[in-house]
Amino acid sequence: LFLTVMLVFLVGSGCASLNRWRPRGWVSDYDTAEARVHETGRELLIYYRDTRPGVEDPTVAALKDGDVKQRTRDYVRCSLFKPYEPDRRYVAQFGVDRAPALIVVHRDGTYHARTGLFSAVDIAQFLDDARGSGAPPVLNPYIPRRVEYGWHDSPESAYGAAERMERAILFVFYRWLSRDWHKMKKLLHRPEVHPRLSDMVHCRVSSLRRAARDEAERFGVARWPALVIAHQDGTYHVLELPTSYVQIVRFAD
């Protein structure tokens, strides 16, 4: 009986892995993909497929083509799956309601999308057609997401990343073991807050570091913890001792 149960488990696991196949070098969730876009400044290529048993999709073979691999290597590549409801909601932002589909999301947030079966030639043609800005997405704020920040631990590192990626910086100034800091951490992880800050470069620095104290003084921060949004044009905004997520949302907007 034990061997029978194990055999069923292994076969089931193998089928699940097969159905969740993704090309090498691709990620299989949109949170990771967006984080890599944020880190690298690259455009996003999404392959949306139907992974139900018995569904054949020639796009799988086409993505293994040498020319296609060469053409897609400069994208952040993400494979999403129709049977997974959050993935369906995610691609719906880009006007996609059926699989298979390919979506290119540009640095300005616009996109190009095409549905249907793809050969290697079709993929190459789509990528050529998808150059430049496309249509604006209809963003859904209720898509399930992991709440994560890509923290830099020094102002120098954050400024370098912000200049390279042409983004604003969110500075978080905090005092170690402070009760107010513990409360603010929870506020930053609220689902209403994170989407408004996710496109920024994130820098979290402790009052124990001289560089943090100097940077806080430059922004005129007198009370910790505090948030500062510093823009590329040199302007900045300061929020000291936030006590509610509504304050942070209004501050970020």
Tell me the domains of the chain and their CATH numbers: 18-129 (3.40.30.10), 151-252 (3.40.30.10)
Share of the chain above pLDDT 70, in %: 90
pLDDT at 3: 42
Would you say the C-alpha torsion 8, 13, 16, 21 has a positive or negative sign?
negative
Please give the mean pLDDT across all residues of the chain. 88
Length of the chain: 253
d(CA 1, CA 45): 46
Would you say the C-alpha torsion 120, 121, 126, 127 has a positive or negative sign?
positive
195-216 core/surface letters (b: 16 or more CB in 10 A; e: else):
bbbbebbbbbbbbeeeebbebb
Confidence at 53, pLDDT banded by 50, 70, 90? low
The pair of three-digit structure tokens given for residue 167, joined into one six-digit string: 């983004």
Instruction: Please enumerate, as own/partner, the contacts of 124-128 that have beta carbons within 8 Å and a separation of 24 or more.
Output: 124/67, 124/68, 124/71, 126/102, 127/71, 127/72
Average pLDDT over residues 105-127: 95
The pair of three-digit structure tokens given for residue 64, joined into one six-digit string: 């293994």
Angle ∠(160,150,192) on CA atoms, nearest 5: 120
pLDDT exceeds cutoff 60 at 66: yes
Confidence at 176, pLDDT banded by 50, 70, 90? confident
Q: Which residue has the tokens 């994208």?
A: 75
Average pLDDT over residues 108-134: 95
Average pLDDT over residues 208-218: 93
pLDDT at 21: 53
Confidence at 51, pLDDT banded by 50, 70, 90? confident
pLDDT at 54: 66
Share of the chain above pLDDT 90, in %: 68
Confidence at 4, pLDDT banded by 50, 70, 90? very low
pLDDT exceeds cutoff 70 at 86: yes
Global pTM?
A: 0.58
